[in-house]
Structure formats: structure tokens, C-alpha cells
Amino acid sequence: MVRKMGFYAVLAYVLYGLFFYWYLFQFAEPKLPFEYQGTKADPSTFLNGRELMLSEEYSKFRNLLFFLSTPFEWLFYFLILLFGFSRVFKRWAEHSTKYKYLHTAIYLFWLSIFAFIATFPLSYISYSLSKTYHISTQSFPAWMKDELIDFWINFGTWLIIVPVLYWLMKKSKKRWWLYGWLLSVPFTLFMMFLQPVVIDPLYNDFYPLKDKQLETKILAIADKAQIPAKHVFEVDMAEKTNAMNAYVTGIGSNARIVLWDTTLNKLTDNQILFIMAHEMCHYVEKHIYWGIGGYLLLSLFGLYLTYRLMNWAVRRYGKELKIPDVRDIRSLPLFFMIISFLLFTASPFTNLASRYQETRADHYAIEMTKNPEAAITSFQELTRSGLSQVNPPLLVKIFRYTHPSMLDRISKLEEFEIKQRNIE
């Protein structure tokens, strides 16, 4: 029975991968709709032939890796349970020390190490792909350093969460999901508060914007938007990537507006002012807080579903999965598998909400700056530097895109430009 379940799980993953390979490389039509051809949203008007070819190639491979990576996690955790590795990790933990309170930490360490090793090939392929297409400029040692930082941050975070979660399971078999969610609220807010000042600096150097003339212009827009900003931060990313980005992070007094130095190097002041006005909208309309609220609401529903699904799986397949009880630490891979599946399933809805907020921010920025030419050319340059698809396939847009496609964004800006010209 165990071998049969393992075989079908691997077969399902292979068929799933073949479907997305066919969808991305054979079925999805990259051709631009007729009504957009020749407009400023048409990539052939601002990308040369080689750039068009590279953007299509790179996007297809990158999208395929995305669709393969998350279900691979499910397969990994399923096989860990099915072939008894979870039971082995627990035995190793118990034999390592007589102190019971360390058993969970040791078990989690072994599970994390095996997960890191199993997923490393896909991570390396993704890194190698970005190097091949000259998106990444990061050396392998620097990339490996970031991977190890990721590992220890994730391990440290779960080292706080998992012991508390399983203690709650033992204390309240039917309500642990609710108590766990209640504790997650202050923990989430605390982590969001720490993100800009503790976690992000582990990866990159942050400092106030060096170009003081540009900072003065940005702060003038911030004052117009009634944002009490004193600094705009730039981050050293040129050693890692050729892509560009800007974002808002943190909450409360730790909230920051951040510009990558690649953005500063490649865009004009007017283009940067549009990007900054876009980011300011997230602050003005409190998108960060809406996002936190939505995340907490989804996590409540997600933990309840996890509770129900874990109990069902252990009742139905506990023997095959080597899980005698949900409250046993051996059920942790099942917990991770279900959480990952639910996050993937919810991503079309969270992405839809994010795209709405980003559309609002684009509208706010163009109304604030009144410079559609700078806005359009900034998006064109973002497309070029990141080899992004202007018009991605539907499933890619649904599952991957937290921002509207460049086709949507540039075409709306072009409409604004035409209306502005008619008014004048």
C-alpha cells in the first residue's frame, strides 16, 4: 500500500509537471491582442528582437520552475511521512539528548536540513537561470550566503512556532487552531515591525538616499500627500541583480519606503518620482495594514482547515503515514504540507487583492505626478531590465502576479495620456 501511494504521488507530480510544460511552451499564445499592437504597451515598440526573444524564453522557464517548486514541497513532505523518515527524525532527536524539551528542536532541525537538501536543486536551477539571462549578477558564494540566511531565519521562526503549536495541541485537541491563531496575531505584528530594521539588513545594506536633490523632490511629493516622511532609503542591489524595484515595508515607526540602487541608476528623476508616488499610495491608503488584516483573516480560516484536514488524514491514513496521533511531532510534515497547499490554493485570491491595490497605486501616482510619459517609460524600462512578459498566460497571471501585467498598466497610462492631451 505504501509503495503504491508513493508511486501514485510521484506519477501525479510528473503528470502535473508535463501539463504545465505543455501549457507554457505549447499552448499559451504569447501574441499580443490586435487592439494593443502598435501601442506603447506593445513590447515590439520598446524592445528589440533579441530582448523580445529572451523575455519570452526566460519567462517560460521561470514560470515552469514556479509551478514545479511548491507541489514538489508537498511531494517531499508526503514521502517523508510515507517512508518513515519522520519517525526516524523523532528517534534521532530522542537519542540525541535526555532533555525532552530539546527533542522538538532537534526533530525540526533534521526535517529542515532534509527539506533544504531536497529543494536545493530547484533553487540552484532558478539562480543559474537568472545568471544565464543576466538578471542576477550575484556570485555563487553570495547567493549561497543568502540561502543559508534564509534557512536559519526560517528555522528560527519555526523553532518558536512549532513547540508552542504542539503544546497547544496537547492542551486542547479541539481548539488548538484557535489559540494558535490568537498567539499569531501579536507575533505577526512583531515580525512585521522587525522586518525593516533586523531581518532585511541581514541580506543587504540600507542607507538614506544619497542623492539629496532627488530626496528633496520625493519629500515634496510626500508632503503634498501629507506623509510625515523624513527619509527615503536606498538598498545596495546592483551586486545581486540587474532588475529594478521599489517597495514599502514595515509598520508603525519602522515603516520605510525603499528604492533599489538599480532603479536609481537606470531611471530618470521624473520616472523615479512616479515610482515613489506609487509607493506612497500604499502608505496613504494603508495597504500594508489591509494586507496584514487580510493575512490574519485567511490564517484563521487556514488553521481551522488545517485542523480538520490533519484529523481526517490521520484517521484515514495514519497507519500508512506512520502518524499515531495528530499531537505527535511526527505529524509536522503533514502540517507543513497542508499549510503549503492552502497557501497555494489561496494565492489567486490574495494576488487579486494585491493587483487591485497596485492598480489603485498606479492611478494615485499618475494623478499626483501628471506625467504619463515618465510613467510609461518607467514601466517599459522595468520590463526590459527584468525580461518580464508584457502579456503573461492566464494561469501565470492568476497564480503568480501580485501586480497587474505591464499590458494592463501601460495601456491604462496611455489612456490617461490621451485624455490629458485632449483636455489641453
Whether residue 248 is contained in a domain is answered as no
Choosing from 73, 215, 234, 279, the catalytic residue is 279
Task: Measure the CA–CA gap between 86 and 110, rounded to whole angstroms.
Answer: 9
Position 255 pLDDT exceeds 70: no
Q: What is the CA radius of gyration of the chain?
A: 24
C-alpha cell at 20: 504545465
Under 8 Å between Cβ of 202 and 210: no
Residue 284: band (very low, low, confident or very high) from pLDDT cuts 50, 70, 90: confident
Residue 242: inside a domain: no
Of the pLDDT bands very low, low, confident and very high (cuts 50, 70, 90), residue 258 is: confident
> Helices 332-369 and 103-132: crossing angle, nearest 10°?
50
Residue range(s) defining the domain that contains residue 62: 2-26+46-204+286-423
The pTM score is 0.90
Q: Is 16 helix (H, G, I), strand (E, B) or coil?
A: helix
What total of structural domains would you count in the chain? 1
In a domain, 354, yes or no: yes
Q: Are 108 and 332 in contact (CB under 8 A)?
A: yes
pLDDT surpassing 70 at residue 229: no
Catalytic site residue 373?
no
Which set of grid coordinates corresponds to residue 36?
494593443
* Residue 276 belongs to a domain: no
CB neighbours of residue 306 within 10 Å: 21
Task: Tell me whether residue 250 is in a domain.
Answer: no
> 94-108, 215-229, 281-295, 352-366: which range is least confident on average?
215-229
